[in-house]
Amino acid sequence: MNGAKDSPQQTRAQDSAFVQQCSLKQLCQQLPLNWPTPAGLPASPKKSYRSGYHYSWGEVCRNPEQVQAWLKLGDFDLVLRLVDFSGLRPVLAKCLGWKSGRGWEPFDPVSFFLLYQWQIINHWTRQELLTHLAQERYADMPPGLAFATGCIPRRAGCASF
């Protein structure tokens, strides 16, 4: 019992059926992966948002070579491209307790959820997150998170950057 134990990656790599079925090339035919919405859950009562998540890589999904290029992305960017999070909107709206469409115009709950995940993954404080969003090197992230150019969350409305 003194043998070295394989890592999870090594164990998966040894299972040829798993490798073939779960490769990005094989998965390409099923993209995007849709976030499931529980049956019977009503749509969000809010009809407009200050941000608007929508899955924007549908055309790229049809091109296996472009999808293979996604392997160079970080985990968060890869998940944004693999998963259509639209089905999460009614779940989040219910969790937020929205019962009517009246009242303030909130940020899209999916956009806010993804922004918060980006903050958690990078171990940033809220201030660090907002600072990074304003930096040129992250200029492609706000559209990926579906915030309008120049409009990101802050305590009272939008912060310009």
The pTM score is 0.77
CA distance 93 to 49: 12
* pLDDT computed for residue 29 by the predictor: 81
Cα-based distances in Å from 10 to 6, 7, 19, 24, 108: 6, 5, 11, 17, 40
With cut-offs at 50, 70 and 90, classify the pLDDT of residue 157: very low
pLDDT at 129: 87
Full residue range of the structural domain in which residue 69 is found: 8-159
Highest mean pLDDT among 31-40, 69-78, 102-111, 127-136: 31-40
Count of domains observed in the chain: 1
Query: Which three-class secondary structure state does DSSP give residue 34?
Result: strand
pLDDT, tens only, 14-55: 888 877 777 787 788 888 999 999 999 988 888 888 888 888
The answer to whether position 107 is within a domain reads yes
Tell me, yes or no, whether 117 lies in a domain: yes
Which amino acid does the sequence have at 33? L
| Structural domain contains residue 26 | yes
CA distances from 66 to 4, 60, 141 (A): 38, 6, 19
